[in-house]
Chain A
Amino acid sequence: MTKWDKILIILVLLLSLIGIYFVKNYSTTTGEKYVSVQVDGKEIKKVSFGANMVGKTIDIETEFGYNKIEIGEERVRVIEADCPDKLDVKQGWISSQGEIIVCLPNRMIVEIKSDKNSIDEIDHISY
């Protein structure tokens, strides 16, 4: 363990903490939220939250696999999946804007988006 090893560890620690802080900040901006389900990069479903939607389940069946998502009160989760590790089911509820549930084997992303897309636009320009 050299001096530079310690510097590296401290630097990475600081940078990732700053990164986590920004990711958290980014995901808590307010707006009219909705659920966006994307498979293989294309948005296939948009579901908005509402009192009549609580407890509803939606089947997502594509050529890559099968997932079932449940809409809750301003939140969403995956309750069934045919992927081997079921990480998306274990992740549980997501509720704030920018949070995502990813199911890599089925190429599916459940994302909470907001109608105010100004943040998204800045994101595109900076890349």
Chain B
Amino acid sequence: MKRLKKLIFLSLLVSLGLALSIIESMIPIPILLPGMKLGLANIVCLISLVLFGYKEAFVIAILRSIVFALATGSFSGLAYSLSGAILSTLAMTIVFRYYSRYFSLIGVSIFGAIFHNAGQLLAASLIMENLKIFSYFPFMTLLSLFTGYFVGLGSRLTSKNMKKIMRET
């Protein structure tokens, strides 16, 4: 029964992440940078890291990327989002597991946002065979400070309530 409950929670989180990704792809962003996103789906990844653990967070991050590609049909973006998701989850896992006495969820989420950009640029530079793409990196890290801050704030509030729900059910 506990297994079933966890399965349902995880699949709910994946579908929540999918919904957030689709919503954020509809929000127009005035700053023109290729691949610039709000990273709202990172909330889901962070919540699963807090509530379940790093294995579940990886599963959710990878599943969400694949399901998003299936839902929107943009398979050319799958390599970018997968490498970004894996790298950012890895960074968040390391920071959350070993350095959580120094950093709150906001710090963890900023790390995740920065490494998400790094992963995407890495995939782009490998596919296009041009390292010049990394000249976008400082612009992206600057913007990921703001998105990371609000994603961290959102996931702190959400995970607090989610913990309550999980205890009650």
Contacts and interface: CB of A to CB of B under 8 A. Distances in A.
Interface string A5-30: 10011001101111110110011000
Interface residues of B, number: 31
Contact of B128 (A1, A20, A107): A107
Contacts of A41: 128-130
Nearest to A23: B135
B102 A4 contact: yes
A24 B102 CA distance: 34
A55 interface: no
A12 B145 contact: yes
Interface string A98-127: 101010110101010000000000010001
Give the interface residue-count category, chain A.
35 or more
Given A22-B138, A102-B34, 16 more contacts: A4-B102, A5-B103, A5-B104, A5-B107, A8-B103, A8-B111, A9-B145, A23-B138, A38-B130, A87-B34, A100-B135, A102-B128, A102-B133, A104-B35, A109-B128, A109-B132
Interface of B: 32, 34-35, 74, 76-77, 80, 102-104, 106-107, 110-111, 114, 124, 127-133, 135, 137-139, 141-142, 145, 149
